[in-house]
Chains A and B, each alone.
Chain A
């Protein structure tokens, strides 16, 4: 194992991969330490939206950050295509959140209003549409659809292919990817970090903790904190069908391959090996009320994944004061924010400091010190 890296990224999911790829792109020597085949991987359980609407209520900086990511995604997709030949099927032609019945429509309208009141400068044109207006874009909606919100910046991507493109790009950038090497301890001495794995020790000048919910355990090793509040989500997927859904929805999207993904639940349960069919039933029932044609499609699989979720729902990007050169990054929206991670976070890590004007709001100091309790089991 090489031990002389500029940066070691702990975590090879979408978030760690995006940052590592971004660092490689800047010519850094990067190692990525990852777990193995069976682990709680949000990167292969996600819903693959590149999503702006309703993000950032309670934290305007998150709205701005998300809009920036959405706008940079095209550049990321084209650089990945150029480098790896892989088309990640980015589609950003606007997305919907549909409502069933008047109550849901009213609640959604209220949320849109609150977002508008808050955001000001980062107004991203989220608007409410009536059912007949929605029907112009989504002709197959059912009679129970009362309308919905629409945001022209929303889109989706093939997240598995994005993951593969990053890992393919690792090779081209000379990034070393070390799977099956979970990090059990981190220390700093003589100006470099030592990371302990079952296969030995790896040394690097800087480290980025990108281990999802496990950041909660890793961060305190280098004077950082990452209070997490993971939740479980279930997703259902159908067989491939001819294209019928021209825009992604918050809970339904048709992939470029033709399958229809239906999400998603938010549960306290944190065992990702089990499933609750009654929850899938709520999801699929709502889906067929939104698009009655879906009823006859076959469901081929359903799964549960554990969301990477900072305790207040907003991203954490932080740098250590006690261990300079140590960074932590974790957030729920690893797909949406992949472009920011590849370009912005990687750039800041490479230069050795986070820029407060861009990501200062995301410091874990907002939780009031490192001792924030979390009983999530991580």
Chain B
């Protein structure tokens, strides 16, 4: 859906999405890295299970919710990527232990 510009010279950062390595850049938010990758980042809602992707990218819509390093319902658009970060796409309601 999105591609990177050639002028982007930021260092690469590797994160994992449901265990699969994704190439991100330093300074990307988790949501930006997901949208720039080819992975299927659609979460499903806690209400009906409907598929969603980030909508506002500025921290207000909560459609970017992901599990980051084991913690559920994080706003992916506000969290910068870090080397080795483990991201899980959420399906439905958050689990209590996460």
Q: Which residues from chain A sit less than 8 Å from chain B, CB to CB?
A: 140, 239-242, 244, 257-258, 293-294, 296-298
Contact = CB atoms under 8 A, between A and B. Distances in A.
B6 interface: no
Interface stretch (B11-19, B50-58, B79-87, B90-98): B90-98
A99 to B, nearest CB: 22
Contacts of A297: 94, 96
A240 B94 contact: yes
B71 interface: yes
B20 interface: no
Contacts of A293: 96-97
B96 A239 contact: no
B39 interface: no
A239 B98 contact: no
Contact of A239 (B46, B71, B92, B97): B46
A296 B95 contact: no
A241 B93 contact: yes
A241 B95 contact: yes
A257 B72 CA distance: 17
B97 A240 contact: no
B77 to A, nearest CB: 16
A79 B47 CA distance: 26
A239 B46 CA distance: 9
A239 B95 contact: no
Contacts of B98: 296
Contacts of A140: 96
B26 interface: no
A290 to B, nearest CB: 13
Interface string B51-75: 0000000000000000000011100
A239 B73 CA distance: 9
Contacts of B72: 296
A237 B4 CA distance: 40
Contacts of B73: 239, 298
A140 B97 CA distance: 10
B94 A244 contact: no
A258 B98 CA distance: 15
A241 B67 CA distance: 13
Nearest to B95: A242
Contacts of A294: 96
A294 B96 CA distance: 7
Given A140-B96, A240-B94, A257-B47, 4 more contacts: A240-B46, A241-B93, A296-B71, A297-B94
